[in-house]
Structure 1
Amino acid sequence: MTSLNQEIQGKLDIYFKKYRQQYTKCLVRGIEISVDGRPEELVRQIFIHFLINQSELLTEKINIKVESNNHDIEIYKSPKNNNFRPHQNPVMIVEVKREEVNLQNHYSQIQRYLTKAGCDIGILYNYHEIIGISRKNHDFEFNRLNSLQEIQKLILHKINQIDDGLLEFGEAQNGNFQSFSYLINKYGRYTTNTFIFKLKNQPNQVEGYLFSIQNNKVYYKICGQYSKKQLSFDSQDFEKLISIIY
Structure 2
Amino acid sequence: MAYAYLEREIHEKLEIYVKKYNQQYTKCLIRGIEIPLNGRPEELVRQIFLHFLIKESTLLPDKITIKVETNNHDIEIYKKQKNETFKPHQNPLIIVEVKREDVKLQNYFAQIERYLTNSGCNIGILYNYHEIVTLTKNFNKFEIYYLKKLIEIQELILQVNSTNDENLFAFQNAQNGNIESFLYLIHKYGEYTNHRIIFKLKHHSSAIEGNLFYIKKDKIYYKICGQYHKKYQSFDFQDFEKLISILY
The alignment's TM-score, normalised by the length of structure 2, stands at 0.95
Letter in 1 for 2:228: Y
**Superposed CA offset, 1:155-206 (max 9, x none):** 1111110100011111100111111011112222222211111111111111
Name which of 221, 238, 241 aligns with 2:240. Answer: 238
2:204 aligns with: 202
**Superposed CA offset, 1:79-114 (max 9, x none):** 131111100000000000000110000001001100
**Within 5 A, what are the aligned runs for 1:84-233?**
84-227=86-229, 229-233=231-235
* Paired residue secondary structure (1:213): strand
Cα displacement (A) at 1:210: 1.6
Q: Does 1:51 align with 2:53?
A: yes
Q: Contact conserved, 1:51 with 1:59, CA < 8 A, in 2?
A: no
The alignment's TM-score, normalised by the length of structure 1, stands at 0.96
* Paired residue secondary structure (1:134): strand
Q: Contact conserved, 1:97 with 1:126, CA < 8 A, in 2?
A: yes
Q: Contact conserved, 1:58 with 1:156, CA < 8 A, in 2?
A: no
* Paired residue secondary structure (1:45): helix
**Superposed CA offset, 1:119-155 (max 9, x none):** 0110000000000010124211111111111111111
Which contiguous aligned blocks of 4+ residues in structure 1 show a shift greater than 4 angstroms? none
Q: Distance in 1 between matches of 2:86 and 2:228?
A: 25
Aligned residues: 246
Letter in 1 for 2:176: N
List gaps (5 residues or longer) in structure 2.
Answer: none
Q: Does 1:76 align with 2:81?
A: no
Q: Contact conserved, 1:91 with 1:159, CA < 8 A, in 2?
A: yes
Q: Contact conserved, 1:58 with 1:152, CA < 8 A, in 2?
A: no
- Residue range with higher mean Cα deviation, 114-123 or 192-201: 192-201
* Paired residue secondary structure (1:241): strand
- Residue range with higher mean Cα deviation, 18-27 or 102-111: 18-27
Q: Distance in 2 between matches of 1:190 and 1:98?
A: 41
Letter in 2 for 1:105: N
Q: Distance in 1 between matches of 2:152 and 2:194?
A: 34
Identity of aligned residues (%): 63
Q: Distance in 2 between matches of 1:34 and 1:197?
A: 50
**Superposed CA offset, 1:218-243 (max 9, x none):** 11121112315322111111110001
Letter in 1 for 2:25: Y
Letter in 2 for 1:190: Y
- Residue range with higher mean Cα deviation, 119-128 or 214-223: 214-223
* Paired residue secondary structure (2:69): strand
1:3 aligns with: 5
- Residue range with higher mean Cα deviation, 22-31 or 121-130: 22-31
- Residue range with higher mean Cα deviation, 13-22 or 141-150: 13-22
Letter in 1 for 2:231: K
Q: Distance in 1 between matches of 2:190 and 2:151?
A: 37
Letter in 2 for 1:187: Y
